[in-house]
A and B are shown apart, each in its own frame.
Chain A
């Protein structure tokens, strides 16, 4: 009874009734990991138009003698999630997961920009942040490898929602300013996922996963429009997309309802 109830919670219950007789197993697990280059380059129109960067953070990394600057790295995200898998007929699997990812390392520093109005370089403090949650659904194959390991390859799509914020400040500029951008939207990135699982008991397995996301939102309009003071009132409204693309590396543990 308890197993049936848990299977229902696992969203896969609609599939289970006709398939239980055909050797179905369910797993539930948790995972966590890192995503390098989280949010991509985080390019936006204000960076392109006023700070002369065609490539977001990458183009904002500048230095100059006489002005204090520091390195600005792309964000590295850390994520945690929960996943369920239904494995049927030994080889086929459906995976549904939910994860939350937040920028952890990088995304802030000091740069410079050139003002055509004043014909000089000025310090620019940059700050980027990004968080997202997503619910990927993938279909694929599960291949038993020796007696106590499985390898999964699955592909699918995720519902992903994210919020990207940026902030650019200059106190040394003759017309000091702070410009903030805020963007939020959902998208459906495509996913490829390769997972290896090793059983430490007949029902518990540890796993390691590499997944690749590909997709972004359309260009979005800045939600923060009242930041127009200073900087000749320019750049109060920013435009950017939210990029969910990139590789994710994770480790986790899964519990199998039926012993393998």
Chain B
């Protein structure tokens, strides 16, 4: 009896591994859509030109988490890595050279959550929490021959640089909701949904212009608003 009370007071520690999926990490959809609209409009009014539009990326997720549970309280530190395969499009003006536009991005987030557990049975929980997240975000847009479409893109407020690159670490916040059930005495499986928000301050460009000169403009922000779907396996450490 004394022993079980001590365990309850100490709480439980678990480590877990997650895999999952997210849509449009770093929120590039609006910018990609702008490129696509400009290219499609050009193709419509210039028969013979060729266009391949850019896909909005989905990304697999790999994650780890460390949790400490104390009665009805949950403290969770996560690490989620999102790196989609690059997405690419192109425009070839009539009689011109193909300009390939390649979007490369990744996002690492480290959410620290505090939440409540709704225990239903032994190691059978619903939980929800909120917290801050430390985000590492990276966005790079390369154009192979930007001179082929510079008048089009500049007219729409889009970049005409050979490379635009932005990277920054910054804080955000998130909401987490999940469920967990036991496999055996030590292992559990979980399903989690994380919605996160966060935006960097305007960042200098680390790219190069059409002529190959280093540039710092235009500045832009990175928006990490998004949703993570995670499936996990967790191991409870005896303490």
> How far, in angstroms, from A53 to B178 measured CA to CA in the complex?
39
CB distance from B157 to the nearest CB of A (A): 12
Task: Write the nearest CB–CB distance from A167 to chain B, whole angstroms.
Answer: 20
- CB-contact partner of A237 in B44, B120, B229, under 8 A: B44
| Interface check B126, CB cutoff 8 A | yes
Q: SS class of chain A's interface: helix, strand, loop or mixed?
A: strand
Q: Which of A127-144 contact B (CB under 8 A)?
A: 139-141, 143-144
C-alpha gap A241/B126 in the complex (Å): 36
User: Are B29 and A214 neighbours in the complex by a CB distance under 8 Å?
Assistant: no
Structural contact, A141 and B181, CB atoms closer than 8 A: yes
Query: How many A-B contacts if CB must be within 8 Å?
Result: 81
A190 at the A/B interface (Cβ < 8 Å)?
yes
Contacts of B22 in A (CB 8 A): 190
Q: How many positions in chain A have a CB within 8 Å of any CB in the partner chain?
A: 30
Interface residue ranges of A198-234 to B (CB < 8 Å) = 212, 214-216, 218-219, 221
* CB-CB under 8 A for A219 and B33, given A140-B191, A141-B191, A155-B229: yes
Extra contacts, 20 of them, besides A45-B37, A153-B193, A190-B23 (Cβ < 8 A), are: A91-B124, A139-B191, A141-B180, A141-B181, A141-B191, A143-B179, A145-B120, A153-B126, A153-B177, A153-B191, A192-B227, A192-B229, A212-B193, A215-B23, A216-B29, A218-B33, A218-B53, A219-B37, A219-B40, A239-B40
B120 CB to closest chain A CB (Å) equals 5
Contact digits for A83-101, partner B, Cβ 8 Å, 1 yes 0 no? 0000000011000000000
1/0 per residue A139-163: CB within 8 Å of B? 1110111000001011111000000
The dominant DSSP class at the B interface is strand
A residues bordering B, Cβ < 8 Å? 45, 91-92, 139-141, 143-145, 151, 153-157, 188-190, 192, 194, 212, 214-216, 218-219, 221, 237, 239, 241
Shortest 4 CB-CB distances between A and B: which pairs?
A: A91-B181, A219-B36, A153-B179, A155-B229
